[in-house]
Amino acid sequence: MKEPLFSIRMRAARGDRHISGAERLAGADCLDGLAAGMVKRALGHPKGLPDSISLTIEEIDLSRLMRIGLPDIRTVGVDSVAQGRNAALAGLLRAGISEQAARSAMQALAGGAAPNGESMRGAMLVDALDGRRLEFDAARGVRVSRMDLEERAAAVLARELQAIGLNNTHVQEALVLAAKVLHAPGVLAELCWSDDPDYTAGYVAAPCLGYVRFPLLKPRGEDRGGRAFFLAPGTDVTGLYRFLEKQAVLVDRVGRMLPDERWRACP
């Protein structure tokens, strides 16, 4: 990537309803092409046409840029949404999240985690022990920002994902986001399923598990989804917001592609 480096990000909404977002880091020569692609994406989202699209471009302080690697990737095969959620629950328990916290976060995502029963614009923060919600604004949550995949790593990842039939923007972007989240101080695990009605897959990510993808975590047509970041009790939430929203992170190494497997359901 050519220096200086810029963060370019897009948010599209209709009224209070978040429609789509995107995050990239790029040199000045790529910004016009990326901006055009982001506007096109905002206008073509299955959640509908936005009534506002914001694009922000800001130079990154290179002396503070952090370089990290992607987690390992595996898929856990499931035959139904119930089985998928049960397997995701098993993953969260393995990552040290209490059953109470994991179940209450899943219930919140399924019912729409924003106060009006819709999806949040960002992620919920959940105490990994008692399940308390810790984000400052329950409609906005925390937005993970200022991250991207370095070009060589992007090419390797595309090749590796291609080989397992998963080379799509959803997976690539979710991996980069999960990589940053797993490097955040205090985060023990992440749970995600999309709010895109056409996309039924989701994942659990944790340092001890890597990025574990479940092809069915919600029914097709459902437009409620979201993300939950589970925090070690006593985490400095203000510092965590600062890291997730402001720290620029470049992913320059891909993880391993682990064999697919099936997980035992939770007791």
Q: Which residue is nearest to ligand AMP (CB)?
A: 194
CB within 8 Å of 63: residues ≥ 6 apart: none
Q: How far is the CB of 40 from ligand AMP (least distance, A)?
A: 16
Q: Which is nearer to ligand AMP, 219 or 267 (CB)?
A: 219
Cβ proximity to ligand AMP, 74 vs 224, nearer residue: 224
| Residue in 106, 86, 77, 88 with CA at minimum distance from that of residue 265 | 86
Nearer to ligand AMP, 120 or 128 (CB): 120
Nearest distance in Å: CB 33, ligand AMP = 21
* Minimum distance, C-beta of residue 77 to ligand AMP, in the bound complex (Å): 21
Minimum Å gap between C-beta 100 and ligand AMP is 22
Based on CB atoms, which residue is closest to ligand AMP, 10 or 97?
A: 10
Question: Considering the complex, what minimum distance in angstroms separates the CB of residue 178 from ligand AMP?
Answer: 10
Pick between residue 51 and residue 261 the one whose CB is nearest to ligand AMP: 51
Structure tokens at 72: 């390992």
Q: Of the two residues 197 and 267, which places its CB atom closer to ligand AMP in the complex?
A: 197
Going by C-alpha positions, the residue among 204, 175, 258 that lies closest to residue 86 is: 204
One-letter amino acid at 204 equals V
Residue 23: half-sphere exposure toward Cβ, Cα within 13 Å: 23
Instruction: Report CA-CA distances (Å) from 206 to 72, 73, 212, 220, 260.
Output: 10, 11, 9, 26, 17
CB 2, min distance to ligand AMP, A: 24
The strand pair at 226-231 and 52-59 is best described as unpaired
CA 181 to chain centre: 8
Residue ranges that bind ligand AMP, judged by CB under 6 A: 21, 119-120, 122-123, 143-144, 174, 177, 192, 194-196, 225-227
Minimal distance in Å, beta carbon 177 to ligand AMP?
6
Token pair 């009224």 is found at 15
CB-nearer residue toward ligand AMP: 144 or 179: 144
